[in-house]
Structure 1
Amino acid sequence: MRPALSLCAAALVATTLGAAGSPPPHPDDPRLARFYGQRIDWGPCPASFEDSMRCGRLTVPLDYGDPARGTVDLALTRFPATGPHRLGSLVLNYGGPGGPGVSALGERIQDLGRTERYRDLAESYDLVAFDPRGVGESAPISCGGALPLKHPDSADGAALLRDTEAAQRACRARSGPVLPYVGTVNVARDLDVLRQALGERKLNYLGWSYGTRIGVVYAAQFPGRTGRMALDGVDTLSDSLADQALETARGQQRAYDAFLDWCAALPGCVFSGVTRTEANERTAALVAELDGRPLAAKGGAKFDGQDLALALENNLYGPSQWPALARGLGALVRERDPSGLLESAAPDEDNVAAAWAAVSCADYPDRGVGGDPVAFQRQLDALRPRFLAASEVFGPGELTEIAYCQGWPAPTDPTSAIHGVEGPPVLLVGGRGDPATPYPWTEQTARVLGNAVVLDHKGEGHTGFGRSRCVTQYVERFLLEGRLPHSTAVCPAEGIDAEGHETVEPPGH
């Protein structure tokens, strides 16, 4: 989940990685021999993990172009294959930037007995997850709580830049030497060291959300070492931060429209019987009202309109969240009680927000107007009508994100440099109702890869594996059997019942 409304600030320094188009590291490079020669010493995991899971560390260079600069240790975990016919290791990444993989896999394995998700994959593969550099237990970067910034005013460019610069200083002061080296190109190079340490000739990989960016960058650098790769909820490699923020606002509004349609047809729902247009108008009016007169919340905090927008955004990742969102909105509208939305309006914790900003600015060359407050104000004023047209509720918050990397030198290793990838076919899953990685990014990335097979999921929510039976079957068929559709395939939209459960087919089919 991406940290909403968190200004860049960690973005922090120009990266000093080699260009994305430069030759990738090779196991035979004598400078990298000690890294590629590792074998992982698997040991016990935290007590909260499933008993058969093992944990370990992997050492990688800070800078692959100059390994003498230092190293970073990555946290790993592995769930051994449960069946007799093992296919090897399947490396997983759940997204971010800023999402730790070790704890995420630990939590999901605990659900194996209650859900079909991963069961077939876990029978044939050792499931392996890692905390990317700068994240979780892998030399985590920190901004000391300066990120995410609390509801900056997107109308005041000078204030936005001041807050960004202050947060950048905090991030530089509190993060260690890994900070300039957290870009996705380096994370993908770490994956190749991990592949070798696992004893695999090729990398089999399943990535969600930001994890898809990691996968594409790996495939670009190491086409001959790419095995079966499925990418779900496809991220962009090249859009400017402004274009990303605008497309995200559109995606959030599409997802909210789907929620409103569901709510309108449900007796007793907060917007039952209300047209989508009227419900959107009421929501925008409520956001404006709360920004002017926030409500008192638990612990003496204030719940304002941007808190509401963030709570809405964070409850649109899947229809299973819709009933809770409807209850929280109902209490807010009818009783002026925000308590049901407070948890989902909470800001991201320090490391998640810092990593989101640092990786974004390491990956994208967009530097806006270079920190000039007058020019930045003109840019904000010019863009605001487009963001409000995309969404009156989500547009203003997304607009603040164009401040992310203002004034910082351009990175030397942007993912936008990747194009014309030649390698084995990759499965891309794009969701038409995805609020976080909108479908146009799937088409964009398919063009970059050239050899991708697209699965067009017509349903709602962020990513489809484990949620859509159709998507899950296509992904598992590829990862377990190597079978792909000959061309773009389609998974239909699922029906959503009153409890937010998705049915195999839409009602009436």
Structure 2
Amino acid sequence: MYQRIFGVTLSLLAFTPTANSQSNKPLKWKECDPPSPYPNVQCAKHPVPYDWGSGLSQYTAMSVMRVKSRTEKPKGTIFLPSGPKRSGTRLLKQYLGENSSAAMELLDEYHIMGLDVRGISDQSPIKCNATRWNRRVPSMPKNLTQYNRMQQHWRKIAEECREMTGELLFDHMDTSTIGQDIENVRYNNWELPPKNRKMHMIGLSWGAQIGLAYVEKISAYMGNIVLDGITDHTQGPIGTIMAESAAFETTLKHFFDWCRAESSCALHSQPNLEHFFTELASKAENKPITAPNCKQDAGEHSCRPNVNLEEMMLNVQKYLASGPPGWSFLAESLLDASEGDASALSAHWFTCETDPTSTWASLLTGCQDWIPARDFLELLGTQRTLRILSPLTRGYTQSFLYYSRCISWPRKQKRVQNGQRPLLQEGKSIKPLLLVTSALDPISSAQGAISLRAQIPQAVLVYTNKTGHESYGARGDLTYIVNSVFRTDSFPQDGSVYQT
């Protein structure tokens, strides 16, 4: 199965930088620009090679922010890696801004570091043609003509992004390369003694995938690693899509149950929520629903003037990810859309050559990490199957976008650079780490975490009996347990279930 994906020998990759490497220099911490309103916050820019395997002396940069520990002799640094659609420095700022943030309790023993990886950092942004990106082309083509148009559209977008961004950055946006970048930051965190320079990490969502990319290559420097909301990168493309689609469909049904039970839900009085949603989806499929509150000249807040089915489904999935605390907004948004105002479900409208939402970086990384369909018949067969198995959500997911949009993506090599494959080293050689999954996650199915636990014998998997994407951060049992891992260097009982 994997032989058509990779014609390579799986091997342990060396992370140690060369002695004369520009990236082999200590991090230079200084006051952030603009200055942080919070104490003990410092920033740095760190150069990393575009291509770790080429030996070329050409570099891009990562933006790094840390909050210094309250103790003079911290146990180490906890890394918060970012993914293509999340800034690690922004996550750290979020934790700083929450007076009750449980994450900040770890400052009693650790520094905490947020990282903006290549393509997200303002030092190395992805650049594309906004006008072309705003043109709509369906990701689920109904016939060969639409399929060919979709291929041409995304190939042209990719070619323009490559030209505007620069081929070195464009060709090296995969998660495996990002994992090497983060190892280089760890290696060059010279303020700490070597014994305290281990890789401690809380990887959330795509940050969890970055964490897996790190630990599967190198185990010697692993400290306490927690991966929350992870997708299994070792299974084939169909399995990945089916798992996410089923998770989305099931979570949506749970949302309907919540609305039936919760009188404050804007859809509480609907007699048949499944029928209501299906009718709304059909309406958006037949003709985009207007979004009267959206403006196309509002800078970072610009959004499309109307909403089609694909955009509606992807935003529903995103809003489900918050769990019940954010579901009231989703219910109101769906009710408004049924009455002709889909503004809250509108997609971003791009206005310049850089992207404040990191949507572009997400697709670049996705096309280098996930294997697309081979041809129209494979794509069509997958679409038909998804519509049968997930009739409410119709198969629209983030992983399906990569499966569809990346078919004609220009590649430096014929294969997908970091496509799905078995672990690079035997799972038994990976040191203990903690996997976290929630009972109902509309983006990262629990199936992925269970599969990875089966492949990594020393992994510990725990569950939260709640709905939503990611569990760490909110006050509750799970966050307390994760913090205890860093305080005590011990893991909870494998298979434990936490209610909060």
TM-score interval, normalised by the smaller of the two chains:
0.7 to 0.9
* Residues 236, 420 of structure 2: 8 Å contact kept: no
Map of 1:127 onto structure 2: 112
Moved more, 318-327 or 60-69: 60-69
What SS does structure 2 have at the residue aligned with 1:165?
Answer: helix
* Residues 131, 138 of structure 1: 8 Å contact kept: no
Offset of residue 132 of structure 1: 1.0
Which residue, out of 257, 263, 267, partners 1:261?
Answer: 257
Map of 2:87 onto structure 1: 100
What whole-Å deviation, never above 9, does each CA across 1:362-397 have from its counterpart, x for those lacking one?
Answer: 223x2432xxxxxx3322331222211232343353
Q: CA separation of 1:41/1:150 partners in 2, compared to 1, >3 Å: closer, same or farther?
A: same
Which residue, out of 136, 139, 146, partners 1:150?
Answer: 136
AA aligned to 1:390 is L
AA aligned to 1:103 is R
AA aligned to 1:279 is L
What whole-Å deviation, never above 9, does each CA across 1:306-327 have from its counterpart, x for those lacking one?
Answer: 3432331221112211111122
What whole-Å deviation, never above 9, does each CA across 1:461-480 have from its counterpart, x for those lacking one?
Answer: 00111236121121111112
1:90 aligns with 2:78: yes
Q: CA separation of 1:284/1:49 partners in 2, compared to 1, >3 Å: closer, same or farther?
A: farther
Which residue, out of 265, 273, 293, partners 1:279?
Answer: 273
Equivalent pairs: percent with the same residue? Answer: 18
Give structure 1 stretches of 5+ with no counterpart. Answer: 1-15, 370-375, 493-503, 505-509
Q: CA separation of 1:151/1:477 partners in 2, compared to 1, >3 Å: closer, same or farther?
A: farther
1:316 aligns with 2:320: yes
Map of 2:405 onto structure 1: 404
Separation in 1, partners of 2:211, 2:434: 11
What SS does structure 2 have at the residue aligned with 1:462?
Answer: coil
Q: TM-score, normalised by structure 1?
A: 0.83
* Residues 31, 67 of structure 1: 8 Å contact kept: no
Which residue, out of 24, 41, 45, partners 2:29?
Answer: 41
Map of 1:117 onto structure 2: 102
AA aligned to 2:116 is D
Separation in 1, partners of 2:185, 2:283: 51
Separation in 2, partners of 1:20, 1:187: 18
* Residues 24, 189 of structure 1: 8 Å contact kept: no
Aligned residues: CA RMSD: 2.8
Separation in 1, partners of 2:174, 2:10: 10
AA aligned to 1:68 is L
Map of 2:381 onto structure 1: 382
What whole-Å deviation, never above 9, does each CA across 1:196-252 have from its counterpart, x for those lacking one?
Answer: 222343111111011111111211222011111111111221234443233222211
What whole-Å deviation, never above 9, does each CA across 1:11-60 have from its counterpart, x for those lacking one?
Answer: xxxxx9x9762431225x4354x433423233333246534311111112
1:231 aligns with 2:227: yes
1:353 aligns with 2:359: yes
Map of 1:290 onto structure 2: 284
Separation in 2, partners of 1:336, 1:251: 28
Q: CA separation of 1:61/1:351 partners in 2, compared to 1, >3 Å: closer, same or farther?
A: farther
Separation in 2, partners of 1:67, 1:280: 56
Separation in 1, partners of 2:197, 2:268: 56
Moved more, 464-473 or 226-235: 464-473
* Residues 295, 302 of structure 1: 8 Å contact kept: yes
Map of 2:469 onto structure 1: 462
Map of 2:391 onto structure 1: 392
The structure, 1 or 2, with the larger RCO (C-alpha pairs under 8 Å, 6+ apart) is 1
Separation in 2, partners of 1:36, 1:70: 13
Separation in 2, partners of 1:25, 1:269: 51
What are the residue-to-residue correspondences of 1:332-371 with 2, within 5 Å? 332-333=337-338, 335-339=339-343, 341-342=344-345, 345-346=347-348, 349=355, 352-364=358-370, 366-369=371-374
What SS does structure 2 have at the residue aligned with 1:150?
Answer: coil
AA aligned to 1:363 is D
* Residues 59, 71 of structure 1: 8 Å contact kept: yes
Separation in 1, partners of 2:161, 2:178: 20
What SS does structure 2 have at the residue aligned with 1:36?
Answer: coil
Separation in 1, partners of 2:391, 2:349: 21
Which residue, out of 113, 133, 136, partners 2:121?
Answer: 136
Give structure 2 stretches of 5+ with no counterpart. Answer: 1-5, 191-195, 296-304
* Residues 235, 420 of structure 2: 8 Å contact kept: no
AA aligned to 2:253 is D
1:56 aligns with 2:44: yes
What SS does structure 2 have at the residue aligned with 1:35?
Answer: coil
Q: TM-score, normalised by structure 2?
A: 0.84
* Residues 204, 228 of structure 1: 8 Å contact kept: yes
AA aligned to 2:136 is K
